[in-house]
Amino acid sequence: MTFLRLLARNRLALAGLVVMAAVVALALVTPLLPLAPPNVTDTGNRFLPPFSEGAPLGTDHLGRDLLSRLLWGTRLSLAVGFAAALIAAVLGAAIGIVAGYYRGRIDNVVMRGVDMLMAFPYILLALAIVAALGPGLMNALIAVAAVNVPFFARNIRGITVGIANKEFVDAARLSGLSDARIILTEVLPNVVPVIVIAMSTTVGWMILETAGLSFLGLGSQPPVADLGSMLGEARSALITNPHTSVVPGLMILVIVMAINLLGDGVRDALDPRLRSGALSRPMAATRVDRGDRVPPPADPEAVLALEGLETQFHVGKRVFRAVGGVDLSVKPGECLGIIGESGSGKSVTALSVMGLVPSPPGVITAGAARFRGEDLVGMPYGRLREKRGRSVAYIFQDPLATLHPLYRVGDQLVEAIRAHRPIGRAEGRARAVELLRAVRIPNPEDRVSNYPHEMSGGMRQRVGIAMALANDPDVIIADEPTTALDVTVQAQILSLLDDLRRSRGLAIVFITHDFGVVGQLCDRVAVMYAGRIVEEGPTRAILETPRHPYTARLIDCVPELGQGRRRLEAIPGLPPAVDRLPEGCAFAERCRNARPDCRAGDIPLEREGTRAVRCLHPETHPEREAAE
């Protein structure tokens, strides 16, 4: 039923359905209509123009009523097209099911044959079949059906192979059902929808193809005419009496177009990816819609400062508040960690800085991201592009997916440089080698001409880092750069980043879900939960005396070597969905300290010295605080 609803929501498909229904209805009632006989010639009234008396669409070269011939021709064309589709579907499905169900030698022989047939340009094959059978509508129908059988056979075989390996088929086999029984009761019902889709997308072609064969004089023979042969006969009078050509031609166009619209609608309704609008392309920069709510600049020391940043995802009527007002800053040479579970908004925060949040559906709705005092949010695209990679560079998580698979890594490095300044071939290559050496890739002269798939995960991530360094940026935002890597490689990458930071005075924003990593690298850390910062401060202080219960629970999740059999505590429950955030503290549901006032209203991020926490009932650490 959702299928029908989706189909109905697609207005174009609906239009196609209505037109098609009208044409089919017209074709069905044609014999009942008070029409002139379609095949009776009346040479006295040749080539009457449209809107003539007694002939609304005029007459053809033999004086036959065009309206009557059009309707009878449509009836014939539709019948032949649908019949061909049905024959092709039934034969193709039968072949496909047998090949896919029995596999083995039958499958091999059949599929070789199918491949062979598909090696033909198919109109040619249809011509060859008609050549053998002789011209005639029935033969054209057979030819069109025959050339489409391989298409169905291949599709259905693929589906059947999948089904034949399912448990319910095994169960049926074990219970002693015969193969024929299993095919009919278990396999066929699952294949039918696929057959219907394949038919809905090919029936338009088949109508076109049979019309084509008739047009060539190889299909329906005079005096009976389908739409194709009407057009073929009218061709000789094209210049003198174009209406005889236009009438059947337009009819074919309308029918095929309606079928195509309907077929697209059917396919879209059945393709789940299109339902949520997931197939929309991200724009060059994230959409910004923050009105005049631009906060005043703060923290002049910071190289990068986020102020009240809010980023949302607008999907249909739902609003996901991925980032709900984040303030952060990082100074030159400093490493700031942002930590949180997946879905906490840490990556979206990072991507918002340079407008890299995919949009649609992403929108930056408030706040600012200032690089050396200049607001990056809402900056014109041209200027933002110049800043990307040069002022703030990114290192992303999965280096296999984030490098272009079809360009050599050296070329990708050179491109990063070339995006910001012209550089010659030789110089570019030299610089690429230099960059690879800087990230400690062995044999950089050889590696520079590797493709990403020829490198290991660790090497690829080094390339990712080299690319981020290409233009000597002031800030590097590393979005879980070590998550996809082995532990040993992870340690190497972390120490590399730390060295680079010290030697180049880079500011690093390091996003992770792993407190272990934060402890190794970051000076300060911000903990995010449900799109907001819940705690922030110097790394050591936070690790030792976490104030926010969430931070404390997160730290408890980290296994420590040599700590014996300490119980690793998972946090019960799940983070709230960011389109239905609760009133007050978002963590209250999962918090062991939660009291009624936690859910009463918005809780501010209270700052105290170098630390800040968003909690009414923070954790206390009497023993450690006494020691301090």
| 11 makes contact with another protein (CB under 8 A) | no
Among 272, 405, 559, 601, binds another protein (CB under 8 A): 405
User: What are the start-end ranges of the H helices in 103-177?
Assistant: 104-118, 122-133, 137-164, 167-174
- Window 86 to 115, contacts with another protein (CB under 8 A): 112-113, 115
- Window 126 to 185, contacts with another protein (CB under 8 A): 127-135
| 50 makes contact with another protein (CB under 8 A) | no
| 587 makes contact with another protein (CB under 8 A) | no
- Window 413 to 432, contacts with another protein (CB under 8 A): 415-416, 419-420
What the block records as the tokens of 463 is 């390339």
- Window 487 to 516, contacts with another protein (CB under 8 A): none
Among 69, 75, 388, 553, binds another protein (CB under 8 A): 388
Nearest CA to 319 out of 586, 580, 587, 583 is that of 580
Nearer to another protein, 197 or 216 (CB): 216
Compute how many residues bind another protein; rule: CB under 8 A.
Answer: 84
In order of 137, 139, 356, the CA distances from 79 in angstroms are 11, 14, 53
Quote the least distance from Cβ 134 to another protein, whole Å.
6
Nearest CA to 401 out of 465, 453, 357 is that of 453
Nearer to another protein, 401 or 577 (CB): 401
Among 120, 177, 544, 589, binds another protein (CB under 8 A): 120
| 600 makes contact with another protein (CB under 8 A) | no
Quote the least distance from Cβ 356 to another protein, whole Å.
6
| 14 makes contact with another protein (CB under 8 A) | no
Q: Which amino acid is at 367?
A: G
Among 100, 324, 389, 549, binds another protein (CB under 8 A): 389
- Window 316 to 355, contacts with another protein (CB under 8 A): 351, 354
- Window 270 to 289, contacts with another protein (CB under 8 A): 279-282, 284-285
- Strands of 208-268, DSSP E: none
Q: Can you say how many angstroms the Cα of residue 176 is from the centroid of all Cα atoms in its chain?
A: 43
d(CA 107, CA 115): 12
Among 69, 154, 157, 390, binds another protein (CB under 8 A): 390
Helix (H, G, I), strand (E, B), or coil: what is residue 218? coil
Nearer to another protein, 429 or 548 (CB): 429
Is the bond into 360 cis (omega within 30 degrees of 0)?
yes
Among 19, 86, 106, 117, binds another protein (CB under 8 A): 117
- Window 348 to 387, contacts with another protein (CB under 8 A): 351, 354, 356, 358, 381, 385-387
Quote the least distance from Cβ 17 to another protein, whole Å.
15
Among 21, 25, 28, 116, binds another protein (CB under 8 A): 116
Among 74, 155, 220, 260, binds another protein (CB under 8 A): 260
Quote the least distance from Cβ 181 to another protein, whole Å.
34
Question: Strand pairing partners for 336?
Answer: 509, 524
d(CA 135, CA 213): 9
Quote the least distance from Cβ 186 to another protein, whole Å.
33
Quote the least distance from Cβ 226 to another protein, whole Å.
12
Q: Which amino acid is at 109?
A: V
Q: Which region, judged by CB under 8 A, interacts with another protein, from 206-214, 326-334, 516-524, 539-547?
A: 206-214
Nearer to another protein, 93 or 484 (CB): 484
Among 57, 225, 393, 521, binds another protein (CB under 8 A): 393
d(CA 373, CA 391): 12
Helix (H, G, I), strand (E, B), or coil: what is residue 304? strand
d(CA 190, CA 97): 11
Count of Cβ atoms closer than 10 Å to residue 160 Cβ = 27
Quote the least distance from Cβ 55 to another protein, whole Å.
21
Among 21, 238, 574, 600, binds another protein (CB under 8 A): 238
Burial (CB count within 10 angstroms: exposed 0-12, middle 13-18, buried 19+), residue 112: exposed
d(CA 328, CA 306): 5
Backbone angles phi, psi at 337, to 5 degrees: -95, 140
Nearer to another protein, 209 or 535 (CB): 209
Angle CA 94–97–102, to nearest 5: 125
Quote the least distance from Cβ 618 to another protein, whole Å.
37
Nearer to another protein, 166 or 404 (CB): 404
| 261 makes contact with another protein (CB under 8 A) | yes
- Window 217 to 236, contacts with another protein (CB under 8 A): 217-218, 228, 231, 235
d(CA 11, CA 341): 41
| 469 makes contact with another protein (CB under 8 A) | no
DSSP string, 457-517: HHHHHHHHHHHHHTT--SEEEEESTTTTS-HHHHHHHHHHHHHHHHHHT-EEEEEES-HHH
CB 338 within 8 A of CB 509: yes
Nearest CA to 388 out of 286, 497, 493 is that of 286
Among 406, 561, 626, 627, binds another protein (CB under 8 A): 406
| 46 makes contact with another protein (CB under 8 A) | no
Nearer to another protein, 405 or 564 (CB): 405
d(CA 491, CA 243): 78
